Amino acid sequence: FAVYKDGMSLYVWPASRWLKAGSTISFVRLSRRIHPCGAILIGYQLETGGLFLNPNHKHKPISWNVDKDCLVVISRGFSFGSLSSIRRASSSASMKKGFC
């Protein structure tokens, strides 16, 4: 876990920022996808209802509605509109272009 001079902030991002339409992936796998980009996934809100922070059943696959579901992340001061900072934060060659 990195400590940043600017501190960390809490963000609610649309699932479409990290997932493609029709994605089914567990919280743990999605967390691993997001982490190399400098963000920590701490929860989510589903269209079907409920806000889940530090959710139970982290390994259970979730069918995401990328247009309506949201992800709750902690990250350093990234601008939501600009992903250039997030892209620079990622050094993982396995990340798909556009996710990070």
In a domain, 28, yes or no: yes
Q: Against a cut of 0.95, is the pTM above it? A: no
In a domain, 68, yes or no: yes
- Beta bridge partners, 44, equal 52, 71
Choice between 70 and 78, residue whose per-residue pLDDT is larger = 70
Reading the block at residue 23, the tokens are 């994605």
In a domain, 44, yes or no: yes
- Label residue 96 by pLDDT band (50, 70, 90): very low
The residue segments making up the domain with residue 70 are 8-89
Q: How far is CA 88 from CA 6, 31, 49, 76, 100, in A?
A: 17, 18, 34, 13, 8
Q: Which residue reads 């509109």 in tokens? A: 81
In a domain, 3, yes or no: no
Give percent of the chain above pLDDT 70: 70
Mean per-residue pLDDT for 20-46?
Answer: 95
What CATH number does residue 51 fall under? 3.30.70
What residue spans of the chain are helical by DSSP H?
27-34, 84-89
Ramachandran angles phi, psi of 77, nearest 5°:
-60, 65
In a domain, 32, yes or no: yes
In a domain, 26, yes or no: yes
Domain count along the chain:
1
Cα distance between residue 77 and residue 93, in whole Å? 23
In a domain, 100, yes or no: no
The predicted structure's pLDDT at residue 54:
96
pLDDT digits (tens, 9 = 90+) for 76-88: 765 444 444 444 4
Give me the chain's average pLDDT, please. Answer: 79
| Greatest extent of the chain over all pairs of C-alpha atoms, in Å | 38
In a domain, 36, yes or no: yes
